[in-house]
Amino acid sequence: MNRDRSMHGGLRKKSTAPAFAVEDVSRKPQQGRSKASLERMLAAGRELMLERGSEEFTLQEVSERGQVSIGSIYLRFESKDNLVRGVIAEALEVLRAEESALLDRLAKDCKDLASFVPAYVEGYAEVLRRHAPLLRLTMERASYDPQVSAPGKENALRAEHDSTEAMLAHASEFGGSDPRVKAQSAYHIVFATLARQLSLGSSGEAVHDYDWNLLKRELGRMCLAYFRAN
């Protein structure tokens, strides 16, 4: 059994995995060689999406870069759309794993609110920064593709849930009478601020060219003061 801290120092509850995976949009490879081919297809698609900042690539380009035949691609994905969905599904899985690893590390290393808050803001900001380019493309597709928007929302709710529970592990140090409201509000403030600076909103541009390290530091200080306030 995983021993994660909760609001009262016991188990930190974890949300269930979102129902979206590469297998949902592809045919499952039956052999190790086929699995390796699938991984090359996904890697090639991801690289092309990141290089161009869009889905403007062809399956022929995926074939050439991934060293797989067009026939092999169609054996795994019935369309380019499904290949893109596969890339996104894989990216969301990696994002989820990194966020979970961050919270597990903080649960072990941060014994009080003063150490947890800045470490959380710093760590979460860097996770989002690493994934921002593909998250932008995910959000663009989610605006018209229900096969991406639904799991995307599940992923967002999972992130909120897990971060809120991690904050509530230090609820005994909160001021005020409703620690859950404070934790949820803090999460939304942190995410909204970081997302805007990373151009994850609908505008595609950050509001200001603000110093990233300064932003993380001051955001952590503000959240700590908010938690302590009555």
CB count, 10 Å around CB of 75?
16
Distances 60 to 33, 67, 198 between C-alpha atoms, Å: 21, 10, 31
Beta strands, E only, 56-167: none
Per-residue confidence (pLDDT) for residue 208, from 0 to 100: 63
Question: pLDDT band at residue 43, thresholds of 50, 70 and 90?
Answer: very high
Residue 38: strand, helix, or coil: helix
Q: Does residue 215 contact residue 121 with C-beta atoms inside 8 Å?
A: no
**For residue 23, what is the DSSP state?**
G
Query: Which domains does the chain carry?
Result: 1-16+88-230 (1.10.357.10), 27-76 (1.10.10.60)
* 31 or 114, which is more confident: 114
Report which residue type is found at 178.
D
Mean per-residue pLDDT for 173-186?
Answer: 97
Per-residue confidence (pLDDT) for residue 14, from 0 to 100: 55
Q: For residue 220, how far is the Cα from the chain centroid? A: 20
Question: pLDDT band at residue 203, thresholds of 50, 70 and 90?
Answer: low
Per-residue confidence (pLDDT) for residue 1, from 0 to 100: 34
Question: pLDDT band at residue 205, thresholds of 50, 70 and 90?
Answer: low
- What percent of the chain stands above pLDDT 70? 83
Give the separation between CA 4 and CA 10, rounded to whole angstroms. Answer: 7
Residue-wise pLDDT for 62-103, tens only, equals 999 999 999 999 989 999 999 999 999 999 999 999 999 999
- What percent of the chain stands above pLDDT 90? 77
pTM for this structure? 0.85
Query: Is residue 210 over pLDDT 50?
Result: yes
User: Average pLDDT of the chain?
Assistant: 88
